[in-house]
Amino acid sequence: MSIEQDVKAAATRAREASHELALATRAVKDAALIGMADALIANQDTILAANAEDVARAEAGGTEPNIIDRLRLTEDRIAGMADGLRTVAGLADPVGEVVRGSTLANGLELRQVRVPFGVVGMIYEARPNVTADAAGICLKSGNAVLLRGSSSARSSNAAIIDVLRDAVEAAGLPADAVQAVPGDSHDSVKALMRARGLVDVLIPRGGAGLIRSVVEESTVPVIETGVGNCHVYVDARADLDKALSIVMNSKTHRTSVCNSAESLLVHEAIADEFLPVVIEALQGAGVTIHGDDRFTEYDGVQTATDEDYGVEYLALEISAKVVSDLDEAIGHIRRFSSQHTDAIVTEDQTAARRFTAAVDSAAVLVNASTRFTDGGEFGFGAEIGISTQKLHARGPMGLPEMTSTKYIVIGDGHTR
Amino acid sequence: MSIEQDVKAAATRAREASHELALATRAVKDAALIGMADALIANQDTILAANAEDVARAEAGGTEPNIIDRLRLTEDRIAGMADGLRTVAGLADPVGEVVRGSTLANGLELRQVRVPFGVVGMIYEARPNVTADAAGICLKSGNAVLLRGSSSARSSNAAIIDVLRDAVEAAGLPADAVQAVPGDSHDSVKALMRARGLVDVLIPRGGAGLIRSVVEESTVPVIETGVGNCHVYVDARADLDKALSIVMNSKTHRTSVCNSAESLLVHEAIADEFLPVVIEALQGAGVTIHGDDRFTEYDGVQTATDEDYGVEYLALEISAKVVSDLDEAIGHIRRFSSQHTDAIVTEDQTAARRFTAAVDSAAVLVNASTRFTDGGEFGFGAEIGISTQKLHARGPMGLPEMTSTKYIVIGDGHTR
């Protein structure tokens, strides 16, 4: 069989499994999740051995140390994956939730209830823990999942998926609810993106290039995740102590994540006071600043280009600009933001209200670090990714975002 | 300028307008909608004259009478368009609605609120009343709209859009919130489908061919609408009087619509009793039946192929089959349904519960006609279309379905 046929066959098996999974009770699904968690621990030697192969291959190929760190599994990290599955078991089942309902004028009873998508395709990079996380979230939300991790993690992912499938089956659910996408080449990703009718939604997680290619090439509906060119705007009436700690936390708490800040805007009324303080603190933390001509008056600040304002550094770098008023800040954010997360620091209620209304991003924050845009921080208990599109789900996606709905209408011989 | 540049320029103007529209209060939007309704009536002579051009062109080109009927405007139909706009003015504003909210453990206040998509592209066929309906629904939900009707209605649509734009502007909102897509060729549709980043969502409304081509070619996210291969399954324990009236209503109440029934399944336990009755009634109403070998025992019933079971007739035709049990009915529906609307007729609570759980369609009905799947019938007040996809919206789409959401997070200097 060709790769395309292999992928279609896997998707067809996933669809069959999804019918059974959609009807599974919460009790059965939770038992499967606990079983999956236990199985990861029980089989950790096998998983670690497979992971060692991936790490050795990556090291031999000269992969960067930070990528190898993301690839590497340890007993702690496997325990973390197991804990994640147990947490998902403890979350409410989104399937069957009545979103709205009413009795119509003619007596028809109308309910809109959450149902699984059916078959979800995940395309993701490097970290093998995503394999267990995604499998758990999809299973709990009643979806079969086709997992396509990066080829650098193929041995780890295959080992994890084997363990999870056995546990799913032991719980009385179809093993094909959790499958690896067959094949290792780009052709298999391509086949997945063309499996419209068999796959209900594709979720790419990874770098901007991966996400763009999936969005452009897929005929299966896509939920776009993750690229974050996030701004912190320090308003004329900001509390500068709060502003400093929010800027520093947003930029330096963790740099490789989509909700870290990449750009700083400062109102000119406080620029003389705030710039020396924030520049010293950022540079003291090792952050390279790419600024406009107000910022470049200070030592060590480099000149920012439009490219700097548009880029997601994911590193100890930040673009910076002084703006003449709130509207210029909003205009700059409209032009350059990836509409993931943008924050204002201000004590001015009117400015806060205007900023939150006019800035159209998945999360708009007032006097808080951009790092809070996160399913865990929002209290969702589990997160499959952060959507930066407007269709279906926007911002951190938990279990309810992994469902569709249907209308159930009950009558008694009703006709029009 | 090329057509592509023209379309991009229009989309850019729409995006500018969308920023203003997103911040408009309900009062201003409702005043605009009332003004639009009044303007349609005040300018009906101009609109009717433009429509007469379209009708004359269609007649000269030998267009079928039923298509010409859909194209033709009258004073009554214009009054209907105006009434539709007034109804939308009376509906609650979805923008700003708090979908959920909580105070997190650390004191952060979290709200998920409805916001407009931004720019909506509508691609639709024949009926010029869709122009006013779509403009009204988009304006109320805070979205700028790019309207691309069929070229057969181009004069009517241009006249309607001119009138609406003037009314929007008179109400103090940007006229570019309502625009025709420039150009008349397929290239302009193509440019619209490629305007990712400028257009937030495309909604095609029309025949299966139109919808398929938009879904396949668009890089802008699409909400798929309308193809309905709807089933009525008459169970072993159906009340046969209810069954007969539901089958007849589902099939013959109106044949050209997506929620009409296209296929009839009958449990074998009641086949001997029900088949002669339903066949006589259907044939008496002029319906051609394409049946399996149980049905073809009766005079005038033609032999059904798999193609018959898969097709949306939109005509006085129906496919029909006797099934041995509920599971065979569910299996048949899974294979052939377009997942729009499927109904069971039964007095058996267990069968009804299993059918509504196992049949994965936008609407699943018990003892009611398939014709009820409709925004008006569901009490939404306005409907932009019926989604048959699982992402974002499923089933009839009213005003809330024309919005996205964003998270607003309020802190007091919060950092992680």
Segment B257-314, tens digit of pLDDT? 899 999 999 999 999 999 999 999 999 999 999 999 999 999 999 999 999 999 999 9
Q: Does A25 touch chain B (CB under 8 A)?
A: no
Q: Residues 97 to 126 of B: which have CB under 8 A from any A CB?
A: 102, 104-105, 108, 110, 112, 115, 117-118
The string of pLDDT tens digits covering residues B188-214 is 999 999 998 899 999 998 888 888 888
Question: What's the confidence (pLDDT) of residue A144?
Answer: 98
Residues A343, A232: contact at Cβ < 8 Å? yes
Give the separation between CA A161 and CA A155, rounded to whole angstroms: 10
3-state secondary structure of B320: strand
**Left, alpha or beta for B126 (phi > 0: left; psi -120 to 50: alpha)?**
left
Mean pLDDT by 10 residues, chain A (416 residues): 92 97 97 98 98 96 89 96 97 96 96 98 90 97 96 95 98 98 89 93 88 87 89 98 98 93 98 98 98 98 96 95 98 96 98 97 98 95 92 96 98 97
3-state secondary structure of A337: coil
Residues B142, B24: contact at Cβ < 8 Å? yes
* DSSP β-bridge partners for residue A59: none
Give the separation between CA A101 and CA A110, rounded to whole angstroms: 5
3-state secondary structure of A205: strand
The Cα of A82 is separated from the nearest Cα of chain B by a number of Å equal to 25
Give the separation between CA A381 and CA A4, rounded to whole angstroms: 36
Calculate helix-pair angle for B44-60, B75-90, nearest 10 degrees.
120
3-state secondary structure of B136: helix
Give the separation between CA B338 and CA B231, rounded to whole angstroms: 10
Question: What's the confidence (pLDDT) of residue B351?
Answer: 98
CB contact under 8 A, B406 and A360: yes
The string of pLDDT tens digits covering residues B253-262 is 999 889 999 9
Q: Does B252 touch chain A (CB under 8 A)?
A: no
**Left, alpha or beta for A126 (phi > 0: left; psi -120 to 50: alpha)?**
left
Q: Does B221 touch chain A (CB under 8 A)?
A: yes
**Amino acid (one-letter) located at A412:** D
In total, chain A counts a number of residues equal to 416
Question: pLDDT at residue B233 above 90?
Answer: yes
Bridge pairing between strands B144-148 and A317-323: unpaired
Residue whose structure tokens are 């939150």: A356
Q: Does A410 touch chain B (CB under 8 A)?
A: yes
Least confident of A206-220, B23-37, B99-113, B186-200: A206-220
CB contact under 8 A, A201 and B391: yes
Question: What's the confidence (pLDDT) of residue A66?
Answer: 83
Q: CA B112, B114, B118 angle in degrees (round to 5)? A: 130
What domains can be seen in chain B, in order of their start residue? Answer: 3-224+392-410 (3.40.605.10), 230-372 (3.40.309.10)
3-state secondary structure of A328: helix
3-state secondary structure of B156: helix
CB contact under 8 A, B409 and A334: no
Question: What's the confidence (pLDDT) of residue A38?
Answer: 98
Q: Residues 344 to 403 of A: which have CB under 8 A from any B CB?
A: 352, 356-358, 360-369, 371-373, 377-379, 389-392, 394-396
| Chain B environment of A200 (Cβ under 8 Å) | 390-391
Q: Which helix or strand (DSSP H or E) is residue B285 part of?
A: none
**Interface predicted TM-score (ipTM) of this complex, two decimals:** 0.94
| Chain A environment of B200 (Cβ under 8 Å) | 390-391
Question: What's the confidence (pLDDT) of residue A73?
Answer: 96
**Amino acid (one-letter) located at B381:** G
Q: Residues 288 to 317 of A: which have CB under 8 A from any B CB?
A: none
Give the separation between CA B205 and CA B19, rounded to whole angstroms: 26
Whether the CA torsion A46, A51, A54, A57 is positive or negative: it is negative
Instruction: From B331, B319, B317, B313, select the one nearest B295 (Cα to Cα).
Output: B319
Q: Select from B327, B378, B415 the residue whose CB has the most chain A CBs within 10 Å, as the one to mutate to test that interface.
A: B415
List alpha helices for B144-261, DSSP H: 154-170, 186-193, 208-217, 240-252
Question: What's the confidence (pLDDT) of residue B400?
Answer: 96
Question: What's the confidence (pLDDT) of residue A125?
Answer: 85
The Cα of A48 is separated from the nearest Cα of chain B by a number of Å equal to 32
Here the tokens at position B112 are 């998920």
Question: What's the confidence (pLDDT) of residue A216?
Answer: 85
Give the nearest partner residue to A115 out of B102, B360, B416, using CB atoms.
Answer: B360
Give the separation between CA A215 and CA A388, rounded to whole angstroms: 12
Question: What's the confidence (pLDDT) of residue A383?
Answer: 92
**Left, alpha or beta for B11 (phi > 0: left; psi -120 to 50: alpha)?**
alpha
Give the separation between CA A219 and CA A214, rounded to whole angstroms: 9
Give the separation between CA B362 and CA B351, rounded to whole angstroms: 19
Residues B41, B78: contact at Cβ < 8 Å? yes
Q: Does B244 touch chain A (CB under 8 A)?
A: no
Of all residues in chain A, the one with the smallest CA distance to B414 is: A368
| Chain A environment of B108 (Cβ under 8 Å) | 368, 372
Residues B217, B193: contact at Cβ < 8 Å? yes
Residue whose structure tokens are 């959507």: A387
| Chain A environment of B246 (Cβ under 8 Å) | 413-415
Here the tokens at position A161 are 């998926």
Query: In angstroms, how far is the first alpha carbon of chain A from the final one?
Result: 51
Question: What's the confidence (pLDDT) of residue B183?
Answer: 86
